[in-house]
A and B are shown apart, each in its own frame.
Chain A
Amino acid sequence: MTCRHASSLLEDYIDGDLSGELADRMRVHLESCNSCRIEYHRSQHLRTLMGRIASPDPGSTYWSEIDDLVRAKTSERAVWSVAPSASSKIVQAARGRILRSALSVAFSSLILLSAVLLGSGGLRVATEPTEQGETIMVAASVQDYLSRMSPLLYTVHDYRRLARGINLVGPPGFSSRLVAVIESKSI
């Protein structure tokens, strides 16, 4: 075996890919040829060094996070079927436009409502019952409303009831207001 031939077979020899006879010839050559033997040791040393390129374990916290992340991403994708074809992109773009329009209308309505409420003397909040057992109403500013953090916004029906002299008690909601109305009427 020539050195040139041995050199071309060296990596396969180290990998164990050579057939029995060829491997034997290679072994004999390496025993007798100093330069090929040096090359053989270099190759083996390289394998050892490569094996030392570590991959750290990021820890159990990371692994449990990965499970959760993959689960979240896959369920999200299943719902929205993210494998965007041309048609689904168009549908998604249309969805985006509709959503933007709806948000814009909602925001404008909110501003308008705030202006109306401010113009009509502020928002109203319900107060504690007085010592006499009556329920009274007070006008409050927007700041007052925000600071109390327990808003009872009146509906159109509430205003009608108030106009008829019916006091409103309880938290917002149709059923509680209804009870209040019945109680007031029974009084």
Chain B
Amino acid sequence: MSKQLPDLVKAFVEGDDEAFDEIVRRFRKRIYSLAFRLLGNHLDADEVVQETFVRVYRRRKELSNVKYFSTFLLRVASNYGIDLLRKRKGHSTMTEDATGLPGQVQLDLARQIATPREDFENKRLMEEIVAAFDQLPPRQKLTAILHDIEGYTKAEIAATLECPEATVRSNLHIARTKLKKMLKQRLKTRE
């Protein structure tokens, strides 16, 4: 029977490396998904996943004082993701060159790409949305991703980003207003 998260974290803090391995398995997809949406390419998302877990491992002693482990983990990932985004000057690359990726990863990613015929229009639309997203400042972008795509609540985001809930609300409002303006032609209306 699999352990509950608090038990796993406790075991990890006490030096159980197998508990840490289990934590990695449980959270790796969530971190990857957030990082990919924030940075827009596999290589950067991969870097965020690895660095997040390495940082958490190094800070294991702090975890005994952490109330919500998943929020802590998300904070570490978000901070590193934002740093990376700033380093990349705020421009993510959704259509990355996959030739630098390991063979099996290339294959697995390629299987998920729809045929050009069926999804040409969809691809254009996605490029426009991603381009609009890229114009947002990193924290607004992250807030919008966490709330509107990943489904976190405003309180969870405030705890993750260590800011008041009002700031989250304001960042979301500004981000959505900008996005609506940028995607004006694309946002259909139903009268």
Contacts and interface: CB of A to CB of B under 8 A. Distances in A.
Interface string A29-49: 000001001100111011101
Contacts of A12: 169
Interface in A4-24: 11-12, 15, 17
Contacts of A50: 129, 144, 148-149, 179
A57 B29 contact: yes
B173 interface: yes
Nearest to A67: B24
B interface SS class: helix
Contact of A34 (B17, B112, B191): B191
A49 to B, nearest CB: 5
A interface SS class: helix
Interface of B: 17, 20-21, 24-25, 28-29, 32-34, 36-37, 42, 45-46, 49-50, 53-54, 57-58, 102, 104-105, 107-109, 112, 125-126, 129-130, 133, 144-145, 147-149, 154, 169, 172-173, 176, 179-180, 183, 186-191
Interface stretch (A68-76, A90-98, A160-168): A68-76
A168 to B, nearest CB: 49
Interface residues of A, number: 41
A181 B190 CA distance: 100
A73 B149 contact: no
A32 to B, nearest CB: 14
A25 interface: no
A159 interface: no
Contacts of A75: 17
A77 B186 CA distance: 49
Contact of A38 (B20, B33, B147, B191): B191
Contact of B105 (A15, A51, A62): A62
B144 to A, nearest CB: 7
